[in-house]
Amino acid sequence: MLRKLMTGSLFLLAACGEQPAPSGNATVPEIPESTRQYAVAAAHPLAAEAGLDILAQGGTAVDAAIAVQAVLSLVEPQSSGLAGGAFMLHYDPATEKLTSYDGRETAPASATPEMFLNEDGTPMGFYDAVTGGRSVGVPGVVAMLAMAHEKHGALPWETLLAPALDHAREGFAVTPRLHQSISRMATRGRLGQSEKAAAYFLDADGEPWPVGHVLKNPAYATTLQYLVDEGPAVFYAGQVAEEMALAVNAAAGAATMTLDDFLSYQPLERTPVCAAYRTKKICSMAPPSSGGVTVLQILLLLEQTGFAAKAPASPAAWHLLLEASRLAYADRNIFLADPVSMGGADFSADDLVGSLLRADYISDRAALIQEDRSSIEVSAGDPVSYLSTSAETPGKDASPEPPSTSHFSIIDADGRVVSMTTSVEFPFGSHLMAGGMILNNQLTDFSFLPERDGRQVANAAAAGKRPRSSMSPVIVLNEDGSVYAALGSPGGSAIIGYVAKTLVALIDWEMSLQEAIDQPNIVVPRGGVLVEDNTLDEARLADLEAFGHAVQQQDLNSGVYGFVLKADGSIEGGADSRREGVVLTGQ
């Protein structure tokens, strides 16, 4: 087996549900068996290695995804885990079908729109909300993986979980990124105040384990063994579910999560969102992710401007990208949420998504973009009016959306692709542990305010509801429907900007994928312009400010991983040097 270590991670696909084959006569290059490559890109070398070994054994892309996620849950607990949620995107060249799986967490039956308000009606402090137990959603990633495995898997769970079991029992070396995350959350967060988390991540003196320390997790090994012996259902109807519910309720001081909440969880297939951009077709995840719609809006708005004529990575090009992003984010903050909250009496959530992307609405919004200066005020549009209905516009969302999450991408020897973005939300999630796993805090992705200015917020919490996400897995298709590229990123609400930047650099600026990934991160997740530290010189910063942008420099730790699939079947990988990810290939 040929194995090649590259400088980062892999791609992101996009799709959902029973989507028909892409338009055009899709053709998949005939690749001789002897030259077919397979690859795994993940945020930690041990996770990528686990996935590659599964592919070498004849496993499918979904098989490898299970192995990767199980290892990431152990070695990158600050970002994702089995007690979190995810979106998986799967492409099968044999059927020319893109399918997406929604493993987003759900709110327990006890959840209410006011769950993050103090007694006086003001929003709770972020850390009070995160670490109190009420932030934990019913995990969806295991159920989602089980659904995908039933349809696309080949190897048994015992084989797929073996790498993670070995590392949990034998231990793994603490990496610089994990050490840094532990240190930051032990001081700025409340990691040290959580009994099980402190006992696991800190030494006897309360100090973070140093880089290189071999960390073992026997509790996680026990959880994995339950999955091996009893199957993934044990996660929702057995010992594992009981441990998680007990930890949540103890921290909350009340029975906020029950075994019935676990038993009622259902992963879903959804229809993807797709749009033509230049000569490509770009598809991504539909709500409850806001990422796919917002990325597509940004690109469609850019097509209405002179963006294509601007010099690559010039201040003039960045200016237009920022203005398109501000308009798209403004719509996102009002209209996008769990589909159960997006519809109205006269229209459905699908109608609203279609309206946000329809040509006349995009054209009207793009007319607000000025090529020589930034708009002083940017507000959401009124896509509902394009549906000829008098429905009321929702209130503006008020969720904090901190930057964490992980992403990995896989292509097997038969060309099946998995792109999966996975998260526990905040670094180390709720700071609670059960079964050797970090429990998510995804419910704080709901709006802390259920209404604003007298209007109900679409992303308000409710029993059984899925919080809005920014995860933006993407697959780019050629005109004939074959896969051209795939990519995605962690990063909270800035994910959308990281992905959009990489796509325009790849398609408009004709850069290699690695060059596209390496471009500076300049994003507008909350209105103001954020520029990645130490990436633009004073002259370029001044040029941006000359357009009227109020620029603020800060650490923007994206993690874009992707690939471009060459006509001969070879894989051009790209990995973000801002993180520890790798791309491993074999054949």
Residues classed as catalytic = 405
Element holding 261 (H helix, E strand): helix 259-263
Query: What does the alpha-carbon distance between residue 30 and residue 283 come to, in Å, rounded to a whole number?
Result: 24
| Separation CA 374–CA 305 (nearest Å) | 14
194 CB-side CA count, 13 A: 31
- Residue 356 tokens read as 């946000």
SS3 (DSSP) at 152? helix
Question: Which tokens is 142 given?
Answer: 């295991």
Q: In b/e form, how buried is each residue of 121-145, taking b as 16+ CB within 10 angstroms?
A: eebbebeebbbbbbbbbbbbbbbbb
CA gyration radius, the chain: 22
Q: Number of helices (H) and strands (E) in the chain: give both, helices first.
A: 19, 23
- Name residue, tokens 């020319």: 96
Q: Tokens representing 192?
A: 């040290």
How far, in Å, CA of 522 to CA of 266, rounded?
37
Backbone angles phi, psi at 120, to 5 degrees: -85, 5
- Helices (DSSP H) in 473-565: which residue ranges? 495-507, 513-518, 538-546
Nearest to 164 by CA among 68, 29, 82: 68
Using an 8 Å Cβ cutoff, are 586 and 3 in contact?
yes
Amino acid letter, residue 487: L
Give the Cα separation of 145 and 115 in Å (integer): 30
